[in-house]
Structures are given as structure tokens and as C-alpha cells.
């Protein structure tokens, strides 16, 4: 594990976030996804600081050392956008560069779209911005995967996935991380569960890697497992349970594009890009941006791209940031 940065407890939008803050210069806010933490950005913090940026890396609400509101609706996208905007203000800035991965990518994309005056530029990893469709995304997924397991559908019933994942956080992390990585063998089912019936559980059939892939050490697993042992998985899972609510609360996203300088980074083996059969999501994103300065697809990389391929991610990220 890299050196642990200095943490601050920062009040924003009525809650407190634990935030790793380091460096001096223009503010970059790095937003993680599921099931992760600030630690997911451990390979980016020091390089960004060395490049002249001030870096703020929160545990998203529901995770790690941050507050964990109980209601499911406390994890809607409007609330998460407000957390980010409040964090920028709490750090004394009017604007920030936002960088997000997995659910962190929709958080930063929608913050940029809904609060454009607060966002200087935006980088999303793994999940492109595709606007707002006629139906909530979860409704589309339920139709597409009506005859087989899909993890987001499995996550909808409160308590079900929590019981499975909380039983052994270390095993959950190992299996979930490996199954969506570029190292996983093709056809093992992964998170999309292509080989599993609708009644399966998330971890059914997922290999427990031994040895671990080189990018995920035993120390890394222990850190994540310790965080989820104390927080539980519930807060992060509640993000998936707000997709209908998000759709209702943000009608403006049907038309609004990302106007700031933008960059997209993903691995060619990221299963997210193939969620919609017959379509590669990164091919459908271009109309939703007015200043998309690059789409970087890292050959052989999987879902956890900034952890799996940190050197290549940083090599794409730093020139974009310097070019602002």
C-alpha cells in the first residue's frame, strides 16, 4: 500500500465525508465507484500532486469513513451531485476538475451537466455519459436480462446482496474484482452472469483467484475488506436502487450535453462496455459531448482500470489535465 494521505472530515450537503486531501494547485476531486473507496485512487494521488494539482479523494457517502445515511433515497444522484459541489465549496474553491470511475463516472458526468459553473473539466472511467433515455436504465436492463442473472437486478431487493457480500468481505472483494478485471478468463460469467440463471447469487460461480493478479495484492484486499467490514455493503448497493428516482428527478439530462473539456478512459475488456448486447457503449457516447478530447481504450484492461493499469491511465490523464 502507498503511504496513507492526510484525511479530513468535511461537512457537505448535510453529511460528513472522509476526504484524503493532498497537494497544492488547481483542485481535482476523484470519485470512486462500487465496491471501492478513496483507496481505489492510490496510484493517481501522488502523480497528480507532483504535476501541480491539489487532490481531494472522498469516500463516497455510504462508504469507509464517511457518513452512511439510512434511507435508500439518500443515495440518489441529485444528493451525490450536491455532495461533490459542497465539497468543492468546503475546500474554498469555485471550480474543480472532476475525475470518476464506475459509479463515480456518472456522478462526475451529471455534476458537470447539472452544475456546469462548478466544473472546469471532467474525466470518466469505465462508464460513458449517454444522457437520459425514455426509461430508467434499470428497466432496460430488466428487459435485456429477463432470462438470466444480472447483478444490478439482483441488487434491487434490499438486504439480499448485503447478506451475501457482508458474510466474508475479503472473499467478496477478491471475487468481484477478479471477475470484472482484464485478467478474468472469458466466459466465467463475471458480474453480468452470462452463464447463470435469474435466481443465482452474485458470487455463484465466480472464481476466487489464487494467486491474486499482480495489480491486486493481499494488502490491497485486506484494506478494502477492513473498510467494508465496518461499513457494510449497504450504502454502495443503495446507489443501484435509485435509478427510477434518478430518472424522475433529472429530466434535464434528456437534452443536456457535457460542455466542459472531457476525457474517457476504459479497458477494452471492461464488461460495462458490453452491457447492451450488440452495442459497445463507448461507440454511442460522442453525441453527448461538445468538447470530448479523447477516448482512451487500454488494450486488455478490465473494469478497475486505474488500479489494473495505473501507468497507462496516468499517461492519458496527465497530458489532458496539463492541456487545460
CA distance 282 to 107: 17
Residue of 102, 220, 246, 270 with catalytic role: 102
CA distance 183 to 186: 9
Residues near 228 by beta carbon (within 8 Å), at least 6 away in sequence: 35, 165, 166, 169, 172, 173
The runs of H, that is alpha helices, within the chain are 45-50, 77-90, 104-114, 137-144, 151-154, 160-166, 169-179, 218-231, 234-240, 243-249, 305-308, 310-322
- What single-letter DSSP state applies at residue 83? H
102 counts as catalytic? yes
Is the separation of the CB atoms in 105 and 126 below 8 Å? yes
CA distance 218 to 11: 33
CA 103 to chain centre: 3
Q: Smallest Cα–Cα separation from 192: which of 128, 144, 125, 129? A: 144
CA distance 35 to 287: 30
Cell 477478479 identifies what position? Answer: 178
Residue of 101, 129, 247, 303 with catalytic role: 303
CA distance 15 to 90: 12
Q: Smallest Cα–Cα separation from 69: which of 83, 89, 90, 87? A: 83
Q: Catalytic positions, please?
A: 102, 303
Amino acid at each position: 500500500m502507498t503511504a496513507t494521505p492526510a484525511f479530513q472530515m468535511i461537512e457537505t450537503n448535510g453529511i460528513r465525508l472522509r476526504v484524503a486531501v493532498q497537494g497544492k494547485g488547481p483542485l481535482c476531486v476523484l470519485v470512486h465507484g462500487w465496491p471501492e473507496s478513496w483507496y481505489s485512487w492510490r496510484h493517481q494521488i501522488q502523480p497528480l500532486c507532483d504535476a501541480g494539482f491539489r487532490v481531494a479523494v472522498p469516500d463516497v457517502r455510504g462508504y469507509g469513513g464517511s457518513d452512511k445515511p439510512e434511507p435508500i433515497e439518500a443515495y440518489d444522484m441529485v444528493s451525490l451531485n450536491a455532495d461533490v459541489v459542497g465539497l468543492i465549496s468546503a475546500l474554498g474553491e469555485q471550480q474543480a476538475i472532476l475525475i470518476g470511475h464506475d459509479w463515480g463516472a456518472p456522478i462526475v458526468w451529471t455534476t458537470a451537466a447539472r452544475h456546469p459553473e462548478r466544473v472546469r473539466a471532467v474525466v470518466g472511467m469505465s462508464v460513458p455519459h449517454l444522457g437520459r433515455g425514455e426509461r430508467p436504465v434499470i428497466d432496460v436492463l430488466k428487459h435485456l436480462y429477463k432470462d438470466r442473472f444480472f447483478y444490478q437486478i439482483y441488487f434491487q431487493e434490499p438486504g439480499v446482496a448485503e447478506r451475501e457480500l457482508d458474510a466474508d468481505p475479503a472473499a467478496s472483494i477478491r471475487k468481484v474484482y477478479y471477475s470484472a478485471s482484464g485478467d478474468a478468463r472469458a466466459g466465467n460469467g463475471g458480474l453480468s452472469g452470462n452463464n447463470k440463471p435469474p435466481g443465482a447469487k452474485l458470487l455463484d460461480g465466480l472464481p476466487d483467484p489464487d494467486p491474486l493478479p499482480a495489480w491486486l495484492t493481499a494488502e490491497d484486499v485486506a484494506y478494502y475488506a477492513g473498510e467494508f467490514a465496518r461499513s457494510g455493503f449497504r450504502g454502495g448497493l443503495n446507489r443501484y436502487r435509485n435509478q427510477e428516482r434518478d430518472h424522475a428527478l433529472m429530466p434535464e439530462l434528456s437534452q443536456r450535453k457535457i460542455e466542459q473539456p472531457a476525457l474517457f478512459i476504459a479497458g477494452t475488456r471492461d464488461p460495462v462496455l458490453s452491457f447492451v448486447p450488440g452495442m459497445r457503449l463507448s461507440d454511442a457516447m460522442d453525441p453527448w459531448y461538445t468538447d470530448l478530447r479523447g477516448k482512451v481504450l487500454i488494450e486488455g484492461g478490465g473494469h478497475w482500470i486505474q488500479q489494473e493499469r495505473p501507468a497507462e491511465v496516468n499517461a492519458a490523464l496527465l497530458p489532458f489535465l496539463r492541456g487545460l
